[in-house]
Amino acid sequence: MTARVALVTGAARGIGAATVARLAADGYAVLALDSCAGPGGAPYDLPTRADLDAVAAPWPEVLPVVADVREAGALHEAVGVAVERWGRLDVAVAAAAVMVGGRPLWETDPAELDLLWDVDVKGVWHTAAAAVPAMLAGPDPAGCRFVAVASAAGSHGLYRLAGYTAVKHAVVGLVKGLAADLVGTGVTAVAVSPGSTRTAMLEQTAAIYGTTTEDLVSHQLLGRVIEPAEMAATIAFCASPAGAVLHGSVVAADGGFGA
């Protein structure tokens, strides 16, 4: 039986892909899940199955699975696959998200808000609802961790990104509510809030503002872009047995954004 087993959503690129690599390097078996909607995916080009396969290829104990976090049944099925293959689930990292915006709240297309809510919030909800029962039923609930990737937007208001700001605040609230529900179980929940990280989402944000990623980075005290591997290292600590001390917390891994 594998020592520790993780589920990572949004695994085909960016922070999710880096997290898969970090956990696999640390000895985890990982079910790497992504929708792989590809070019033409809303609201911008999303990863492909080839991207997901490339993330998994270096690691014999990484299993790529194409599934959409908007579908609750798909998450339950993925968790079932992980438990059947490896006998347990210890960690779930909810990293799947999209970025859309560019207009003030009163001019925002309701379809944009629906997309953000369905992927960025309900996707995290579905991941927790599927993963937590498997953790509670496993051999070591006290070592189990749920980690949601929130955003600096979960504690700040971002210009012309009211929808994204609202859903990332909701992710933070979801994690805090989940943490309260988990009291006494041994399983813990934490949110990690990245700043400007070298991802397609950062490029999309720059495009929304009609500016450069360098300009976005200037708003965090670190003075440079955060690398996905750095975020993955933070997430890996949160996912570790030692990460229990962060239960119910929001880890501001944002390089001093807005400070």
Residues with a known catalytic role: 164
Q: Give CA–CA dist 161/216, Å, rounded.
A: 14
Give the pair of three-digit tokens for residue 93. Answer: 């990292």
Do residues 110 and 163 touch, judged by C-beta distance below 8 A? no
| Distance between CA atoms of residues 156 and 133, nearest Å | 32
Q: In what order do the strands lie in the sheet with 250-253?
A: 62-66, 29-34, 5-9, 91-94, 145-149, 188-194, 250-253
Tell me whether strands 62-66 and 188-194 are parallel, antiparallel or unpaired: unpaired
Task: Please choose, from the candidates 156, 61, 46, the residue with its C-alpha nearest in 3D space to the C-alpha of residue 99.
Answer: 46
Task: Tell me the Ramachandran region of residue 160: left when phi exceeds 0, alpha when psi lies from -120 to 50, beta otherwise.
Answer: left
CA distance 232 to 27: 14
Reduced to 3 states (helix: H, G, I; strand: E, B; else coil), residue 73 is helix
